[in-house]
Amino acid sequence: MKNFIVFFLSFFILKSFGQNRIDVPKAFEKTIPPKAWSVDWDKLHSSENEFQVFITDEKLEVLKYKESKICEIKTLDGKFVGINLVEWGGKLLFVPSESEKKSFTVKDGDIKFIFSYKDKIYFIEGISAMHNSPGALYELDTSGSTISYKKILDFDDVPQAFTIYQDKIFVVGHKNFYIINDLKKEMIFENTFWRSLDPNSIAVFNNKNVFVGMRGGIAKLDLTKKVLTFYKNN
């Protein structure tokens, strides 16, 4: 019995340690985050390499980013399609599953993401960072004879990527990082170095290991200590 307890505790400690230590691919070197508009920052800004972060088999995976202008989510009656054309405009469409019914526009605007959260459908709107226009989170209402929406909250900068972890919505913006809990927004990082480095993805292992993909490298965020680490592509 004693040996079993020792084994269990050892396994728990090793597993906990492993969760707090996520291996970053060797192609990325830990470095001090550059100050926005500095020479080192400008090198990242002019880089043609944008990196996207994923979690595959509980490991961090980093790939070249492939941009998509369309997002969608299916419902029982059809699907919502979001189009993001930046300064050329965009829209949120509903496409009925019945072919004889026509598609229609629910809302004009650049739709970045559509997702299901706690049995409801939400979408995030945002405009190009060059216009300095913040975005917003909306909730869709499909319960009636017509489709409607309402604004839940505004962002202080343009939303660039999002993910959901433990019923919380994580959003990386043009220069800020947010956590939305019970539809209430908290800004965790403000005016970060990644402004204009086009952050594009978030991978969350736990509150100590949150990764953001962007132009020129990836960032690691420790939300418990509010510490930001940058890994530059070699």
Q: Read off the pLDDT of residues 7-50 as tens digits, 9 standing for 90 and up.
A: 444 444 444 434 567 999 999 999 999 999 999 999 999 999 99
- DSSP secondary structure, 4-21, as one string: HHHHHHHHHHHHHHHHH-
d(CA 74, CA 72): 7
pLDDT in tens, 174-196: 999 999 999 999 999 999 999 99
91 burial via Cβ count (<10 Å: 0-12, 13-18, 19+)? middle
**Whole-model pTM?**
0.87
Q: Give burial (CB, 10 Å; 0-12/13-18/19+) of 231.
A: buried
- Cα dihedral sign, 62-64-70-74: negative
Q: What pLDDT is stored for residue 187 in this prediction?
A: 97
177-186 as b/e, with b when 16 or more CB fall inside 10 Å? bbbbeeeebe
At 41 the three-state DSSP class reads helix
* pLDDT tier, 87 (very low <50, low <70, confident <90, very high otherwise): low
Q: Are 118 and 75 in contact (CB under 8 A)?
A: no
